[in-house]
Amino acid sequence: MSDNESSLLLKMRGITKRFPGVVALQGVSLSLRPGEVLALMGENGAGKSTLMKILGGVQPPDEGDIEIDGKAVTFGGVKDSKAAGIALIHQELMLAPNLDITSNIFLGNEGAKGGLFGPLNRPKMNARAAELIGRVGLKMPVTTPVSRLTAGQMQMVEIAKALSTKARIIIMDEPTSSLASAESEQLFQIIRQLKADGIGIIYISHRMQEVMDLSDRISVLRDGRYVGDLLRAEATHDKVVALMVGRELSNEYFPEKRERTSTEPMLEVNALRVPGTPEGASFTARKGEILGFAGLIGAGRTELMEAIFGVTPALSGEMKLEGKPYDPRQPRDAIQAGVYLAPEDRKRHGLVLPMSVAQNTSLPNVSSYAAMGWLDRKTENVVAENGVKRLRTKTPSIKQAVVNLSGGNQQKVVLAKWLAMSPKILILDEPTRGIDVGAKAEIYRHMADLADQGITILMVSSDMEETIGMSDRVVVMHERRLKGVLERHELTQLAIAGLMTGKPQGAGESNVAAS
């Protein structure tokens, strides 16, 4: 073994994993040194999650071997992986909200006294839990129920849980996907401290700036194969993207903004007040425009979109759709009117995971596929195939259960089901969260095409670059109030950030009810 290899904390060689109809990984190799932050990147479906599940003991490889500290290891399950010092923090945090911090940290690894069935040593557990959360900078009683924590605080508990098992390798899968910027920065500080303590971090993210700031090295997968490494010093946005997608993306990451000449109102919202808001919101969305909604987490954007879609009926105010009164009391009312919502949490609210791609595509409008009292499977399949081709969804077939697709491809199924119904208004809540750079570019092009066809898009996004790059105008919210509407020529990061943090819109800028 070379000196270079002898210093490795982790070595994975020739990892192959097959599922029915697809080779998820083909001969993939990966290495990690103590105190190194390794970014693992690739398009959705590239094999990142599968590789990490193998390392975490969730799935066995069909071929290949794993070494830790130069010694071969075999994992029969998650318990073996944890015993080897590996902790996997999933994108959807695996905490029990009804239990307190201590109970979550030691869940499955409780320190008992009096034998296997003896009472728990709570004082000892609480003391150790306090030490662990203090190490990650979380300052609160360890008896606090997890249900009362913010997303960022839950992330800290997950890291403390990993440290409780004396993990030497921590895998983080999209750890900032649901965090506010301040919480993300706190997480980055924790990662830097873990790095200083000699812990190896495998960091999966589609956020390029995070990767550039945090990582020492970037490993890239494409179509289930390892395609190369880049040291941070040599990595650029274009080089990483080229490795990920196998080609250079066009110079314009976002589609060229075309002049929207229509001033025809599609949706008029007047003093609409939703539960939990101190006052009503007023704005107009024009036909064929992409109207962005910016704001910090908790600003009230999602609640406003849910009122427009009829999930939560408004308390007061009024709306007009194409000049006619529009008052959805339930989502069915909105769907019948041609207003559709692709929700932020696609797994819980956008899809039925055990059902197939075809079944999910037809579900919102299943009655239209009825023929003589039977479901017309042929038509359902044709529509689903068209959706797969239109959005370039990666799936072995339309019969595949969506639970087996990557996050980005699940999002494409959500979009396909609504596009099959010819929307008037399409509400996209965080449309590209957890989606790779290549798939983002495709979705952006589709959004621009839909706007060109006269469809109005209401886009909620926490990605500033996306908000500015895709929006014709931007509605900015702060603490559940509408703070202002910025016209295209006013769209700068400074202008949006100012309103997001409560700065009043200055004289001469667009009126909040601009149309």
**26 contacts 225 by C-beta, under 8 angstroms:** yes
> What does the alpha-carbon distance between residue 144 and residue 156 come to, in Å, rounded to a whole number?
14
Three-point CA angle 333, 337, 340, nearest 5°: 85
pLDDT of residue 505 exceeding 80, the answer is no
d(CA 235, CA 216): 10
pLDDT value for 499: 87
Which comes out higher in pLDDT, residue 113 or 420?
Answer: 420
Mean pLDDT computed over 356-377:
83
Which among 393, 459, 460, 458 is positioned nearest to 420, based on CA atoms? 393
pLDDT 10s digits, 255-274:
877 676 678 999 999 999 99
Average pLDDT value for the chain: 86
Which DSSP symbol is given to 297? Answer: T
Residue corresponding to tokens 């990662």: 191
Q: pTM surpassing 0.85?
A: no
In what side-by-side order are the strands of the sheet with 456-460?
339-342, 425-429, 456-460, 290-294, 473-478, 481-486
Q: Are 485 and 476 in contact (CB under 8 A)?
A: yes
SS3 249: coil
Give me the pLDDT at residue 202, please: 97
Q: What is the predicted pLDDT for the residue at 199?
A: 95
- Domains within the chain, CATH numbers bracketed: 3-245 (3.40.50.300), 261-338+465-515 (3.40.50.300)
The secondary structure of 155-221 as a DSSP string is: HHHHHHHHHHTT-SEEEEESTTTT--HHHHHHHHHHHHHHHHTT-EEEEE-S-HHHHHHH-SEEEEE
